[in-house]
A and B are shown apart, each in its own frame.
Chain A
Amino acid sequence: MSPAVPLEESDDEVGNLVLGPPEIARALTRIAHEILERNKGGSDVVLLGIPTRGLPLARRLAERLEAVEPGLDASRLVGSLDVTMYRDDLAHHPTRTIGETDIPGGGLDGKVVVLVDDVLFSGRTIRAALDAISDLGRPRAVQLAALVDRGHRELPIRADYVGKNLPTSTTERVRVLLQESDGRDAVLIEGGTR
């Protein structure tokens, strides 16, 4: 476990670095292996990333699956699942922009769907994702992969694959930065009174 290092690169990124690029890469590689092991290969697997940052994570996982199991085509493994319209907390936030939902050509029926998200927190996003999936098809199984599990669940939901368990206080904020959207890989903890 790497010690929390204060960041000094820029002013708007005040927070403690808890995962850097190597740790994130290692965690994803491990999760990829766990997915293959648990599902006895990747032939029935569909990785559904939850926008925004779940989607690049799903793509990275797919690349790793492909690397381990050359028969797989990474691009066909990955889809995007926007859960905005299934959320139960819409009325408590300013109106959210709806993201893209893009299901791979084979559909979801009979597949093992692995939901991929950056941070697992209350579990409400995953609850919404489960509802969204049930409107789109009938998978054989649904599993959950999260880069960070920060605890504080409000629903009976747990992750099948976790990059890092990160005990936090509710007043803290966990930020995941990814190369694809933010220019670099990092997991930061901000705010709170640790």
Chain B
Amino acid sequence: MKHLLSTADLTLADAIRILDTAGSMAATQGREIKKLPTLRGRTVVNLFFEDSTRTRISFETAAKRLSADVINFSAKGSSVSKGESLKDTALTLQAMGADAVVIRHHASGAPHTLATSGWTHGAVINAGDGMHQHPTQALLDAYTLRRHLSGPGDVTGRDLTGLRVAIVGDVLHSRVARSNVQLLHTLGADVTLVAPPTLVPVGVEAWPAKVSYHLDETIADDKPDAVMMLRVQRERMSSAGGGFFPSPLEYTRRYGLDARRLAALSDHAIVLHPGPMNRGLEISADAADSPRAVIVEQVANGVAVRMAVLYLLLAGGDAAPARPTNDEAKVNA
């Protein structure tokens, strides 16, 4: 694994390795001294063409906990907003010696372009591109699901076989949904997408997921083990002429997770949300603050998952060891 661009690129073994490594990372985060020397001397650049304080801070924390040097490069207030191209920005970062570029971009495929263009030799980590992918979000969701729902005991090595997950909301514009559908499928979970028909993409029939237009039916019939609520952008959703639904109120009535629907879930079912939430639109305060909401835990798990991704992409090298060591034998065993 050289880059992390899409969950579609991950095999089952890759995905489990990342989740297991995240588990190791999480174990270190309960300690008094949380910082590890692992990536000392490595430089991680957070290249954010789109505002996302949460994701940037999560990546920054992860990199710093592993002792990497972190450079935050935000499009706002930089030459990027003055028309500098992705290419020139990437070349600049390359000249600065970036070992990894964490990129958030409004254009789908921008991380892919960065990784394949030769503009940078570092690892490229997709921190969200347009409507395409947000792989670390899906990984932290899977990590959270595995922790809660894969049974008692040590979860290391487990997949999500048989878990039923409902992803509810604006699937059309959601990179979180796309990443999760593919990763959850790889991990063996059954996914149902729940959305108004206007917010389901044409071509969804090729996705490894069921589609439902009715949240109540899905809760009653599928008995999901987890419900993942997607953020709905209030403004663009109901603009006149091109609105995706008649009004926020109607959306909430049909697709919002409120106290009644929360009560209809199975006892063990958990509620996820990638944040930031629109309380009162896609999720009510009752649901967001209920004990079964694992939304705050998702944030903590995000750091562990991003530490794992940084570790797996940056810690190893291709160079042959100077001489055979017993360490090697130990690792290979």
- Residues in A lying within 8 Å of B, measured CB to CB: 51-53, 82, 84-87, 89-101, 118-119, 121-122, 124-125, 131, 135-136, 150, 170-171, 173-175, 181-182, 191
- Is B315 a contact of A173 with CB atoms below 8 Å? no
If A53-B333, A85-B37, A86-B38 touch, whether A92 touches B326 (CB-CB below 8 Å) is no
If A90-B316, A92-B322, A97-B17 touch, whether A125 touches B37 (CB-CB below 8 Å) is no
- Is A91 a contact of B326 with CB atoms below 8 Å? no
Question: Which of B21-29, B110-118, B169-177, B219-227 contacts the other chain?
Answer: B21-29
Once the chains are docked, how many angstroms separate the CA of A40 from the CA of B185? 58
Once the chains are docked, how many angstroms separate the CA of A119 from the CA of B324? 13
Minimum CB distance partner of B42 in chain A:
A91
Identify B31's interface contact among A87, A119, A136, A170, CB under 8 A: A136
Chain A residues lying within 8 Å of B316, measured Cβ to Cβ, are 90-91, 93-96
- Is A97 a contact of B38 with CB atoms below 8 Å? no
Interface size class of B (residues with CB under 8 A): 20 to 34
Identify B327's interface contact among A95, A121, A175, CB under 8 A: A121
If A85-B28, A85-B36 touch, whether A121 touches B326 (CB-CB below 8 Å) is yes
Chain B residues lying within 8 Å of A121, measured Cβ to Cβ, are 325-327
If A121-B326, A136-B31 touch, whether A97 touches B331 (CB-CB below 8 Å) is yes
Minimum CB distance partner of B40 in chain A:
A88
Minimum CB distance partner of A121 in chain B:
B326
Does chain A have a CB within 8 A of B317?
yes
Chain B 292-319 residues near chain A, CB threshold 8 A: 311-312, 315-319
> 1/0 per residue B62-84: CB within 8 Å of A?
00001000000000000000000
Chain B residues lying within 8 Å of A175, measured Cβ to Cβ, are 329
- Is B317 a contact of A90 with CB atoms below 8 Å? yes
If A86-B36, A86-B38, A91-B319 touch, whether A122 touches B28 (CB-CB below 8 Å) is no
Chain B residues lying within 8 Å of A91, measured Cβ to Cβ, are 315-317, 319
- Is A98 a contact of B24 with CB atoms below 8 Å? yes
Known: A53-B333, A97-B21, A99-B24. 18 other contacts (CB 8 A): A84-B38, A85-B37, A85-B66, A87-B327, A89-B327, A90-B317, A92-B320, A92-B322, A93-B328, A94-B317, A95-B311, A96-B315, A96-B331, A101-B27, A118-B326, A135-B31, A170-B324, A173-B329
Q: How many A-B residue pairs have CB under 8 A?
A: 92
Once the chains are docked, how many angstroms separate the CA of A76 from the CA of B302? 33
**What are 17 residue pairs bridging A and B, where the CB atoms are less than 8 Å apart in the complex?**
A51-B330, A85-B38, A90-B38, A91-B319, A92-B317, A92-B319, A93-B328, A93-B331, A96-B315, A96-B316, A122-B325, A122-B327, A131-B37, A135-B33, A150-B326, A181-B333, A182-B333
Minimum CB distance partner of B21 in chain A:
A98
Once the chains are docked, how many angstroms separate the CA of A93 from the CA of B327? 10
List the 10 shortest-distance A-B pairs measured between CB atoms, nearest first: A95-B316, A91-B317, A98-B24, A85-B38, A119-B326, A135-B33, A90-B315, A85-B36, A121-B326, A94-B316
Does chain A have a CB within 8 A of B242?
no
Chain B residues lying within 8 Å of A173, measured Cβ to Cβ, are 324, 326, 329
If A86-B36, A90-B317, A92-B319 touch, whether A124 touches B324 (CB-CB below 8 Å) is no
Does chain A have a CB within 8 A of B203?
no
Once the chains are docked, how many angstroms separate the CA of A136 from the CA of B322? 31
Identify A85's interface contact among B311, B318, B323, CB under 8 A: B311
Does chain A have a CB within 8 A of B321?
yes
Minimum CB distance partner of B23 in chain A:
A98
CB distance from B325 to the nearest CB of A (A): 6
Chain A residues lying within 8 Å of B324, measured Cβ to Cβ, are 170-171, 173, 191
Chain A residues lying within 8 Å of B311, measured Cβ to Cβ, are 85, 95, 98
- Is A92 a contact of B315 with CB atoms below 8 Å? no
